[in-house]
Chain A
């Protein structure tokens, strides 16, 4: 056989044929044996379409079972962008625009939404009339990629009431989805984003129903393979009281509005009073009765989703970030409300006894110090004369507490940072443990912390040293010091309970839609603080004096209050903030003989605690006492912090 003979060349052809067949066999082996499991899955996915029927989300009720959040049905039209055939896109959008009563450019704008995953159906019409849904469904072949359906959405019968506490629900984002895929969440699901909706997501959500359908290549449903009905979510009954929540929000709003009618120190500019917060706690149950934060927002706005610009407006500091829940996220210098911690620290450590008096001549000079910076004055340089700790709290004598601040500094060798540590024991500068996401911890300044802050950021904190003056300032609640409104309330609640510091609950129980209690939430104690009567009594006496005694800082706000039947212990605070108008604060508990409620009020750039914040608390406490009909809050002429 020569290389040129046909037989030899046929042999070559045979080799080629053999190798081609070998290639086919090898490929077949790969596809059908090695890679088969993946293809089996793909075929399964092809054929089976899972249709999810979201479970009705559980309602949220107030402590008396009144509905705060429920569901309503809404007709929604969505467009699945990658299911609209490119050659039909223009005609589909034209028809859709006509059906929805909008324009093609408007639809295009919505479809261009970059925030949405390209595979996520884009909602182009919400709350559309039922006949539009029927029309689209009946002409589905002319609307490829368009879906019209009824979905349950959140409904808020009381509008913005309790918005920050309740939170809102929105479409699950990529981060949440990644973390929760194993829990059965899928793209497009709705999930609690903040507040109670977020905390009790697992209870409220329920279990989505799933229909397994067999479909052919054109999506035609051939038969139902299996069906699992949705299990509705459970209801969450809050500790909050609808009426008190309303009262708190209304009082705060009136207080802020009223504050804006008054002028700042220089009597030229009005107070801006743009924002504030009120917290009402139940110290018997360890729970939140009301929680207000202003400015607020409409949680219903989240139902239909909104544009990037609308969302930006809700978080913009220039608008005072309405989404921020100031009750747990706002950090404020406590001002004179901090004197509670100073007093407790001084009495417990023996720096003073209840009977110790200090001469208040309106000015305090730091020992061994020369110059103007060594003088600290009472607000308005008022002289209160010889005062003990109770009287000092009643009139809010700065000189008394300046003196304590200096004494703590002198005795730092054996007492350490007694004021700061006591404040933290009472619940300031530390998270309370309230089950709401985003709670801030605040700041309690110590020499170490100040040095650390300075080293980390020398621009924002130009000085890293701590002198006597720092301690003196800290004693009256100024300096490197910030607490949240709920911390303020917690500190006074710990005093009210005689030492029980709660981790506040927001819910009372979780129940099935039929009302059977699944889980009751018991009070949670975060810490037991040592507050013997020798410490507590003089302080409570002083705080009661603030609302009743002559020159008490809150006397004006609590004039004509039924003190004999509903005694209130409270403390005003006026915190100076660099480049801002003063923060007005007030914290109180009542009734003092058997404390039930704590009310804390914080109002940004609103002036004196006594004139702006105390009247808000008074209106709330008056109503809580059951003895007063609420009257409009009116800012009263104020004295010192």
Chain B
């Protein structure tokens, strides 16, 4: 009886333990993220089915793959959640080293090149993009370094933090992948600001960043072939007509959606392939055209919920490391959403940045789920 009683008490205490991590999973965040990912799957299907059909291929090809990535992504998110984020912190040097190795590897002959950018490992039918994962690892690294110094970031430590981020950025610059570099900048700014960097340092950094970018292009610091790659990627004037065409078609798709949209699978801009790279960078146009203002603003609202929950997790975090982890993820997601959606609507320049959890692609999907996993991790362990 006593044993029974004791065991029942133990069980009860286990159930009732207010500090137990699993009791504090942020269901709102998880739910919003899953909702976005599901909508993404549907939109990718809509963006690709007609074209695949026209080409005599299986219309479900992209659908099936993205569903698989989302399933794997959720698993990765849960896996990241299970290990206490403070233990993950211990592995920072290991993660950082692995990241540098893969980034180097992708530039070596092991990496694959498409359209002038060497950014992938070809693994069977899949392409792995290390830069996507490096964003998450840099968040962890910066958060760990800043937390270690308890937010007391003088000039020297700031320089050290910068150096930690600059190393992978340099390798990504060589791919080149300007979009991801910009995401890095957003992460650095967000984490260091919240970590306590002095405002004059932040301003100095901003200035340095601008002169750096200009200098790289003005002072012939890149090889000719790299310059060509870069300018092909960067310089909209070189192919101005084409990029304004893309932008026009993108805005046309969104604008044509109107208040209620053309209906799922009914968008003509989408079905007739007027918008380029629609299942990846321009996936928002499918939402805009087929689901209208109601659908598109719902998606933005879901993102807003995600941001709110991540921001809230940063506020509630038990320690500075947790706060900075969440801040890094917030900076990454906000920048990607704003740049990507803004680009399709013509208020931001066109750069190749995926829309988190919407754009087709394994690396981006897995990396984003992993990042959200970190936030869930911080949130659920705020009492333990």
The B222-276 residues at the A interface (CB cut-off 8 A) are: 248-249, 251-259, 268-269, 272-274
Partner of A24 from the list B256, B273, B324, B342 (CB cut-off 8 Å) is: B342
Q: Are A9 and B196 in contact (CB under 8 A)?
A: yes
Instruction: Sample 6 A-B pairs with CB under 8 A, ordered by A number.
Output: A13-B193, A24-B338, A31-B345, A33-B259, A36-B258, A217-B273
Q: Is the C-beta of B168 less than 8 angstroms from some C-beta in chain A?
A: no
Inter-chain contacts of B345 with A (CB < 8 A): 24, 27-28, 31
Inter-chain contacts of B251 with A (CB < 8 A): 31, 39
CB-nearest residue of chain B to A20? B338
Contact with B along A20-35 (1 / 0, CB 8 A): 1101110111011101
CA gap between A17 and B327 in the complex, in Å: 11
For the complex formed, measure the closest distance between the CB of B257 and the CB atoms of chain A, giving whole angstroms. Answer: 6
Q: Are B255 and A38 in contact (CB under 8 A)?
A: yes
Q: Are A39 and B272 in contact (CB under 8 A)?
A: no
Q: Are B274 and A46 in contact (CB under 8 A)?
A: yes
Q: A21-B304, A24-B342, A40-B256 are in contact. Are A46 and B268 (CB under 8 A)?
A: yes
Selecting from B16-24, B105-113, B213-221, B291-299, the interface stretch reads B291-299
Q: Is the C-beta of A460 less than 8 angstroms from some C-beta in chain B?
A: no
Extra inter-chain contacts (4) besides given A31-B288, A32-B288, A38-B255, CB under 8 Å = A6-B320, A10-B327, A17-B311, A217-B274
The 9 lowest CB-CB distance pairs between A and B, nearest first, are: A39-B255, A43-B256, A32-B293, A216-B272, A36-B258, A47-B268, A31-B255, A39-B256, A42-B252
Q: Is the C-beta of A179 less than 8 angstroms from some C-beta in chain B?
A: no
Partner of A47 from the list B254, B272, B314, B338 (CB cut-off 8 Å) is: B272
For the complex formed, measure the closest distance between the CB of A183 and the CB atoms of chain B, giving whole angstroms. Answer: 30
Inter-chain contacts of A217 with B (CB < 8 A): 272-274
The B296-352 residues at the A interface (CB cut-off 8 A) are: 296-297, 300, 303-304, 307, 311, 314-315, 320, 323-324, 327, 330-331, 334, 337-338, 341-342, 345-347
Q: Is the C-beta of A519 less than 8 angstroms from some C-beta in chain B?
A: no
For the complex formed, measure the closest distance between the CB of B291 and the CB atoms of chain A, giving whole angstroms. Answer: 10
Q: Is the C-beta of B370 less than 8 angstroms from some C-beta in chain A?
A: no
Q: Is the C-beta of A458 less than 8 angstroms from some C-beta in chain B?
A: no
Q: A32-B255, A222-B272 are in contact. Are A9 and B304 (CB under 8 A)?
A: no
Q: Is the C-beta of A12 less than 8 angstroms from some C-beta in chain B?
A: yes
How many residues belonging to B are interface residues under a CB distance threshold of 8 Å?
Answer: 50
For the complex formed, measure the closest distance between the CB of A45 and the CB atoms of chain B, giving whole angstroms. Answer: 9
The A187-246 residues at the B interface (CB cut-off 8 A) are: 214-218, 222
CB-nearest residue of chain A to B259? A33
Q: Is the C-beta of A142 less than 8 angstroms from some C-beta in chain B?
A: no
CA gap between A23 and B345 in the complex, in Å: 11
Q: Are A4 and B193 in contact (CB under 8 A)?
A: no
Partner of A13 from the list B249, B272, B300, B330 (CB cut-off 8 Å) is: B330
Q: Is the C-beta of B374 less than 8 angstroms from some C-beta in chain A?
A: no
CA gap between A23 and B257 in the complex, in Å: 19
Q: Are B342 and A27 in contact (CB under 8 A)?
A: yes
For the complex formed, measure the closest distance between the CB of B269 and the CB atoms of chain A, giving whole angstroms. Answer: 5
Q: Are A10 and B311 in contact (CB under 8 A)?
A: yes
For the complex formed, measure the closest distance between the CB of A462 and the CB atoms of chain B, giving whole angstroms. Answer: 62
Q: Is the C-beta of A14 less than 8 angstroms from some C-beta in chain B?
A: yes
Q: Is the C-beta of A559 less than 8 angstroms from some C-beta in chain B?
A: no
Q: Are A14 and B311 in contact (CB under 8 A)?
A: yes
Q: Is the C-beta of B194 less than 8 angstroms from some C-beta in chain A?
A: yes
List residues of A whose CB falls within 8 A of some B CB: 4, 6-7, 9-10, 12-14, 16-17, 20-21, 23-25, 27-29, 31-33, 35-36, 38-40, 42-44, 46-47, 214-218, 222
Inter-chain contacts of A25 with B (CB < 8 A): 297, 300
Inter-chain contacts of A27 with B (CB < 8 A): 342, 345-347
Q: Are B338 and A36 in contact (CB under 8 A)?
A: no
Inter-chain contacts of B268 with A (CB < 8 A): 43-44, 46-47
CB-nearest residue of chain A to B261? A32
CB-nearest residue of chain A to B195? A6
Q: Are A36 and B255 in contact (CB under 8 A)?
A: yes
CA gap between A14 and B334 in the complex, in Å: 10
Q: Are A4 and B190 in contact (CB under 8 A)?
A: no
Q: Are A29 and B347 in contact (CB under 8 A)?
A: no
CB-nearest residue of chain A to B333? A17
Q: A12-B193, A29-B293 are in contact. Are A21 and B273 (CB under 8 A)?
A: no
CA gap between A48 and B253 in the complex, in Å: 15
Partner of B323 from the list A10, A24, A35 (CB cut-off 8 Å) is: A10
CB-nearest residue of chain B to A8? B194
Inter-chain contacts of A31 with B (CB < 8 A): 251, 254-255, 288, 345
Label chain A's interface by main secondary structure: helix
Partner of A39 from the list B193, B254, B311, B337 (CB cut-off 8 Å) is: B254
Inter-chain contacts of B331 with A (CB < 8 A): 13
Inter-chain contacts of A42 with B (CB < 8 A): 248, 252, 255-256
CB-nearest residue of chain B to A12? B193
Q: Are B193 and A21 in contact (CB under 8 A)?
A: no
Q: Is the C-beta of B151 less than 8 angstroms from some C-beta in chain A?
A: yes
Q: Are A46 and B194 in contact (CB under 8 A)?
A: no
Partner of B255 from the list A16, A21, A35 (CB cut-off 8 Å) is: A35
Q: Are B272 and A46 in contact (CB under 8 A)?
A: yes
Q: Are A32 and B257 in contact (CB under 8 A)?
A: yes
Q: Are B311 and A36 in contact (CB under 8 A)?
A: no
CA gap between A214 and B341 in the complex, in Å: 29
Q: A13-B194, A36-B258 are in contact. Are A46 and B307 (CB under 8 A)?
A: no
Partner of B311 from the list A13, A33, A44 (CB cut-off 8 Å) is: A13
For the complex formed, measure the closest distance between the CB of B371 and the CB atoms of chain A, giving whole angstroms. Answer: 16
Inter-chain contacts of B254 with A (CB < 8 A): 28, 31-32, 39
Q: Are A17 and B334 in contact (CB under 8 A)?
A: yes
Inter-chain contacts of A23 with B (CB < 8 A): 338, 342, 347
Counting chain B CB atoms within 10 Å of each CB, the highest count among A4, A39, A216 belongs to A39
For the complex formed, measure the closest distance between the CB of B341 and the CB atoms of chain A, giving whole angstroms. Answer: 5
Inter-chain contacts of B327 with A (CB < 8 A): 10, 13
Inter-chain contacts of A13 with B (CB < 8 A): 190, 193-194, 311, 327, 330-331
CA gap between A33 and B257 in the complex, in Å: 9
CA gap between A224 and B347 in the complex, in Å: 37
For the complex formed, measure the closest distance between the CB of A240 and the CB atoms of chain B, giving whole angstroms. Answer: 53
Q: A31-B255, A39-B255, A217-B272 are in contact. Are A9 and B330 (CB under 8 A)?
A: no
CA gap between A216 and B193 in the complex, in Å: 48
CA gap between A340 and B122 in the complex, in Å: 102
CA gap between A47 and B258 in the complex, in Å: 17
Inter-chain contacts of A222 with B (CB < 8 A): 272
Q: Are B334 and A43 in contact (CB under 8 A)?
A: no
Q: Are B323 and A28 in contact (CB under 8 A)?
A: no
Q: Are B300 and A17 in contact (CB under 8 A)?
A: no
Inter-chain contacts of A7 with B (CB < 8 A): 315
Q: Are B300 and A24 in contact (CB under 8 A)?
A: yes
CA gap between A593 and B335 in the complex, in Å: 101
Counting chain B CB atoms within 10 Å of each CB, the highest count among A13, A32, A47, A217 belongs to A32
Q: Are B269 and A43 in contact (CB under 8 A)?
A: yes
CB-nearest residue of chain A to B288? A32
For the complex formed, measure the closest distance between the CB of B149 and the CB atoms of chain A, giving whole angstroms. Answer: 13
CB-nearest residue of chain A to B268? A47
Q: Are B293 and A28 in contact (CB under 8 A)?
A: yes
CA gap between A584 and B307 in the complex, in Å: 97
Q: Are B296 and A6 in contact (CB under 8 A)?
A: no
CA gap between A27 and B303 in the complex, in Å: 16
Partner of A21 from the list B54, B300, B323 (CB cut-off 8 Å) is: B300
Partner of A10 from the list B194, B269, B274 (CB cut-off 8 Å) is: B194
Inter-chain contacts of A21 with B (CB < 8 A): 300, 303-304, 307, 338
For the complex formed, measure the closest distance between the CB of A15 and the CB atoms of chain B, giving whole angstroms. Answer: 11
For the complex formed, measure the closest distance between the CB of B320 and the CB atoms of chain A, giving whole angstroms. Answer: 6
Inter-chain contacts of A6 with B (CB < 8 A): 151, 194-196, 320, 323-324
Inter-chain contacts of A46 with B (CB < 8 A): 249, 252, 268-269, 272, 274
Q: Are B272 and A17 in contact (CB under 8 A)?
A: no
CA gap between A216 and B54 in the complex, in Å: 11
CB-nearest residue of chain A to B50? A216
Inter-chain contacts of B151 with A (CB < 8 A): 6
CA gap between A4 and B324 in the complex, in Å: 14
CB-nearest residue of chain B to A216? B272
